[in-house]
Amino acid sequence: MDELDIQILSILLDNCRESDRQIGKKIGISGNAVSSRIQKMIQNKVIEKFALKIEPPVLGYNVLYIVVSGQDLNQILKQVRLVGEPFFVVPCVGDITVCSIVIKENVEEKISLAKKIMKDVRVLSIFEAQNPGIRSDLTKTDLEIINVLLENPRARIEEIAKATSFSTKTITRALDKLQNDEAILFTLIYDPIKLEQFVPYAVLTWSNGDLYKTLKILKDEFSQSFLQKPFIAKNQIVLFLYSDNIFKIDDVIQKVRKISGIALADLFIPKKITFPQKWIADTVKTSRASKKLHLLYQTN
């Protein structure tokens, strides 16, 4: 792994449908060189799989984030599944695990249930998360295409057309719509340990000021170290960064904490990233069978 590999990985994390040629133009190498580096990262298991990430509210779900301390990941997942389906699970350095779970309703009851049943671990934090102001309008056509993209988010237009029997014009139009939808992300899952001399990490911040003004300051200050775009949830901003020196990370945390609008900032260094998608596939299958032509949801 070198800096060019990290740049390619970063671009693919934000849009894995970006073409090799487009990526090459951005980082100053040929499309063939980009393709070769991607294949090498796949062969070396740096890139584990390409994935389609859909924000749960788009499919009618609420989201809970649970941060727990404990060593037995299987036991943690067993208890989490009593509350809802895992959206992603990230074990971190220090026996900390960050879980996101999807639930249909009764959010406060689910939070209370989680606190009661998770007795074998220490719950450090639990909160409902929503993306403010994101609106999505998925049609039955979109769902048919998404069903194919769940298997291969990088599928070519012709492959999608063949699988869905839609015209390439319809596929092209739908892909443009999906890629411009803030609630849908064409991304990938990578193995943090395989990044070798680079250390990926996340900084979870709590804002006590104007969220978007604070986000702009964070982007201006730290965008050169972004591994992927920041994520906003209620009054939280999550930064995804990387460093070539673990000792530099502490300096970044201290700088983040001093920024106006930041009340708290916590550091998480992932050891593994799991991104279960069964709940998405099941929901898409059910929605495709629905008589409704549109799925219209808006996060609050």
**Residue 285 and residue 157 share a domain:** yes
Residue 11's CATH number:
1.10.10.10
173: in domain: yes
**Residue 294 and residue 162 share a domain:** yes
Give the rounded percent of residues in the chain with a pLDDT score beyond 70. 92
- Rounded CA-CA distance 17/184 in Å is 12
How many domains does one find in the chain? 4
**Residue 283 and residue 171 share a domain:** yes
51: in domain: no
How much of the chain is helix, strand and coil, in % rounded to 5?
45, 30, 25
**Residue 163 and residue 147 share a domain:** yes
49: in domain: no
The pLDDT tens digits of the residues spanning 2-24 come to 999 999 999 999 999 999 999 99
70: in domain: yes
Does 242 have pLDDT greater than 50?
yes
**Residue 173 and residue 289 share a domain:** yes
* Local structure of residue 244 (DSSP, 8 states): S
Place 68 in a pLDDT band, splitting at 50, 70 and 90: confident
**Residue 229 and residue 108 share a domain:** no
Residue 212's CATH number:
3.30.70.1150
**Residue 219 and residue 154 share a domain:** no
- The whole domain housing 282 covers 135-187+278-298
**Residue 250 and residue 206 share a domain:** yes
- pLDDT (0 to 100) of residue 293: 55
Does 298 have pLDDT greater than 50?
no
Token look-up 């941060």 returns 67
Selected residue with higher pLDDT from 104 and 296:
104
Residue 97's CATH number:
3.30.70.260
Among the listed residues 241, 238, 221, 222, the one whose alpha carbon sits nearest the alpha carbon of residue 230:
238
**Residue 294 and residue 149 share a domain:** yes
145: in domain: yes
**Residue 285 and residue 252 share a domain:** no
273: in domain: no
The pLDDT tens digits of the residues spanning 183-220 come to 899 999 999 999 988 999 999 998 888 888 999 999 99
165: in domain: yes
The pLDDT tens digits of the residues spanning 247-275 come to 999 999 999 999 989 999 999 999 999 88
Selected residue with higher pLDDT from 293 and 162:
162
Helices 157-164 + 168-179 axis angle, to 10:
110
Does 300 have pLDDT greater than 50?
no
| pTM: predicted TM-score of the whole model, two decimal places | 0.88
Geometric angle at alpha carbon 200, from 264 and 133, rounded to 5°: 55
294: in domain: yes
**Residue 289 and residue 141 share a domain:** yes
- pLDDT (0 to 100) of residue 75: 78
The pLDDT tens digits of the residues spanning 72-123 come to 778 778 888 888 888 889 999 988 998 888 888 777 888 888 777 776 678 7
